[in-house]
Amino acid sequence: MENASYQRIVLAARPQGKVQLTNFRLETLAQPTFAALKDNEVLVKNHFLSLDPYMRGRMSTAKSYAAPQALDETMIGATVGKVVASKHADFRTGNDVIGMLGWAEMGIAHGNTLRLVTSTVPLSANLGVVGMPGVTAWYGINQILQAKAGNTLVVSAASGAVGSVVGQLAKLKGCRVVGIAGGERKCRYVIDQLGFDACIDYQLAKTEKELFTNLSVAAKDGIDLLFENVGSTIFDASLACLKPYAKIALCGMIAGYNGEAPVLKNCNKLLTMRAMLQGFIVTEHMEIWPEALQELAELVVKGKIKYHETVAQGLSSAPEAFIGLLNGQNLGKQLVKLS
């Protein structure tokens, strides 16, 4: 009888500039069995894989806050799935778990790296709005920006997994929220569906000056709080609109993840506006995750936070979906449905 198999995707080659399909390789392996598990290990069949911008950083060897992804190994990634077999006391067959099983249909994880799904939201939402991206938004809004009623907050990549939650949390606190996003569909979505006050379509601006002008009209009294996800000319336009004593949560600079040098001409505003800027990595603040996850789940269940998922079908679609994410093709959280 033929052994059952599963598929995984490994990093085949490091990208030079933009990520290409040839950077990945799909492999077929024999399914692990219960007998293959060591003490405290768990065998998980993955249902959803999360695709996230940080993966682009891991594909390169540039010095960063985390070690690079190894060549010929399963691509790193957060997953939700079901326990198939367990040699860990805390996990039983049939449990839904969140882990870092990577770009693979199944895998073995040490129980210490898994978390039982406890929230009442749909399984996939544990990778987005009630998962790492949601907690990132929560951390920036509550711990760094300390958003208050009456503040004007600007968030870039506004319709994405993090940005969409940032804007909604800020609205719940009584802020005026201005998004920046690419294209009319994304801008309409954050205004009409998520309740942002305004959204700048940066693709419409032909020059940096036009982008600045559009933003300064939407944030007419200036920016109190900036949640930065993109970098480049988008960040620069926001810097030019800062109010005195503005606060900036520097969450991501995706426009430079292929190695482009940051374009920042308005750094002087950090000084002249006496601004506070804090970069952060959400996984360094695990102490706030339980509170953040609980609050986010409650807000989603009550309908106070909405979310959208872009779901690619099947593991083999992951490379194309990831390239799409880096090119702005996703609306909301980018996922891959594995089974």
Given 41, 45, 52, 76, the residue binding ligand NAP (CB under 6 A): 52
Applying CB under 6 A, which part among 47-55, 76-84, 94-102, 212-220 lies near ligand NAP? 47-55
**Amino acid identity, residue 58?**
R
Residues 6+ apart with CB under 8 A from 100: 76, 77, 78, 79, 109, 113
Tokens of 249: 């949560």
The answer to whether the beta carbons of residues 79 and 98 sit under 8 Å apart is yes
Under the binding rule (CB under 6 A), the answer on residue 309 touching ligand NAP is no
Task: Please tell me whether residue 255 adopts helix, strand or coil conformation.
Answer: helix
In the complex, least distance from residue 49 CB atom to ligand NAP, rounded to whole angstroms? 14
Total residues contacting ligand NAP by CB under 6 A comes to: 29
Instruction: Give the x/- contact pattern for ligand NAP in 233-272, rule: CB under 6 A.
Output: -x----------------xx-xx-----------------
Under the binding rule (CB under 6 A), the answer on residue 325 touching ligand NAP is yes
Applying CB under 6 A, which part among 147-155, 269-277, 296-304, 322-330 lies near ligand NAP? 322-330
Under the binding rule (CB under 6 A), the answer on residue 328 touching ligand NAP is yes
The residue (of 86 and 330) whose beta carbon lies closer to ligand NAP is: 330
Q: Is the dihedral of CA 161, 256, 312, 5 positive or negative?
A: negative
The residue (of 105 and 309) whose beta carbon lies closer to ligand NAP is: 309
The residue (of 32 and 183) whose beta carbon lies closer to ligand NAP is: 183
How far from the centroid of its chain's Cα atoms is residue 306's Cα?
Answer: 16
Q: Alpha-carbon dihedral of residues 49, 66, 326, 199, nearest 10 degrees?
A: 100
Task: Please tell me whether residue 291 adopts helix, strand or coil conformation.
Answer: helix
Nearest Cα to 158, choosing from 202, 121, 128?
202
The residue (of 42 and 127) whose beta carbon lies closer to ligand NAP is: 127
* Gap between the Cα atoms of 171 and 152, Å rounded: 10
In the complex, least distance from residue 163 CB atom to ligand NAP, rounded to whole angstroms? 5
In the complex, least distance from residue 132 CB atom to ligand NAP, rounded to whole angstroms? 6
Task: Please tell me whether residue 220 adopts helix, strand or coil conformation.
Answer: coil
Applying CB under 6 A, which part among 11-19, 46-54, 71-79, 239-247 lies near ligand NAP? 46-54
The residue (of 24 and 257) whose beta carbon lies closer to ligand NAP is: 257
* Gap between the Cα atoms of 327 and 255, Å rounded: 10
Under the binding rule (CB under 6 A), the answer on residue 133 touching ligand NAP is yes
Task: Please tell me whether residue 226 adopts helix, strand or coil conformation.
Answer: strand
> In the range 174-233, which residues lie near ligand NAP by CB under 6 A?
181-182, 186, 229-230, 232
**Amino acid identity, residue 253?**
M
The residue (of 41 and 309) whose beta carbon lies closer to ligand NAP is: 309
Tokens of 312: 């690619």
Nearest Cα to 73, choosing from 48, 101, 54, 34?
101
- The single-letter DSSP state of residue 37 is P
> In the range 26-45, which residues lie near ligand NAP by CB under 6 A?
none
In the complex, least distance from residue 291 CB atom to ligand NAP, rounded to whole angstroms? 17
The site for ligand NAP (CB under 6 A) is made up of 52-54, 133, 136, 157, 159-163, 181-182, 186, 229-230, 232, 234, 251-252, 254-255, 280-282, 325-326, 328, 330
